[in-house]
Amino acid sequence: MSANADDTTVKNDFAKMTLKEIVTNNFRTASVLEKYGMDFCCRGNKLFTEACDEKGLDTRLLEAELKKVNLRNMRDERYDDWTLDFLIDYIIQNHHSYIKEITPILLTHTKKVASAHGANHPEVLEIATKFESVAMELKHHLIKEEEILFPYIKLLVQVNSRHAKAEPPFFGTVKNPIESMMAEHEIAGDTFYAIREISNQYTAPADACNTFKAAYQELKDFEEDLHKHVHLENNILFPKAIELEKKSLT
């Protein structure tokens, strides 16, 4: 059997893999897991089979869908192969920029929908409150990553490339801000899970106006982007940063 065939076999052995491993190997599989409500970012350490059992899903059917995705002849983003400084720049330019751009729009839309439709659809009042809360949390979250955590990880990359030794940071070890960021990721993920449930999977009611429909689509897009964003940090960037620090401080 060729090396490529071996690689495909390993990637397709989903029964022995965690959700984060499946998506790290091929991010296109995220669309399949998202369709069935499987959290591959904040709770990505869960085994695929365990996640299927919890949802009452047939593992064979999901494996078939995942294998189809793996066999598609499309260019795959190999985030796991990127250098950490490049990955950080990608996260900032794509995911952080997206959050900063769409958040004020979504705040306006969710508040407008709550004001106009709250009497007939009380769920939109709760959605507006929840999104405002997560928007405020994410605003501070991005600042902490961009001004504290990410610069330190980039410093580790530079130090390691020179085979030099890094000085311990003021926060002790990279694990400390990482644990804080991961806890905040989980809060944001749980909030959006609640919004998705309250909104009936972002399904606008029959009497919804265009702003109502737009808000639900924007919330859906926001959550999908958040999943990818958190996956790149929790499952790729953060574990590698911890290992890099161990090498750079010894």
Mean of pLDDT over the chain = 89
Confidence of residue 27 (pLDDT cuts 50, 70, 90): confident
Q: Delimit the domains of the chain by residue range.
A: 3-71, 80-248
Q: What is the pLDDT of residues 134-181, one digit of tens each?
A: 999 999 999 999 999 999 999 999 998 887 677 788 899 999 999 999
Q: What is the pLDDT of residues 64-119, one digit of tens each?
A: 888 887 665 444 568 989 999 999 999 999 999 999 999 999 999 999 999 999 99
Q: What is the predicted pLDDT for the residue at 1?
A: 33
What DSSP string runs through the chain?
--HHHHHHHHHH-GGG-BHHHHHHH-GGGHHHHHHTT--SSTTTTSBHHHHHHHHT--HHHHHHHHHHHHHS-S----GGGS-HHHHHHHIIIIIIHHHHHHHHHHHHHHHHHHHHHTTT-THHHHHHHHHHHHHHHHHHHHHHIIIIIHHHHHHHHHHHHTT--PPPPTTSSTHHHHHHHHHHHHHHHHHHHHHHHHTTTT---TT--HHHHHHHHHHHHHHHHHHHHHHIIIIIIHHHHHHHHHHHT-
Confidence of residue 4 (pLDDT cuts 50, 70, 90): very low
- Residue 250 pLDDT greater than 60, yes or no: yes
Q: What is the predicted pLDDT for the residue at 20?
A: 86
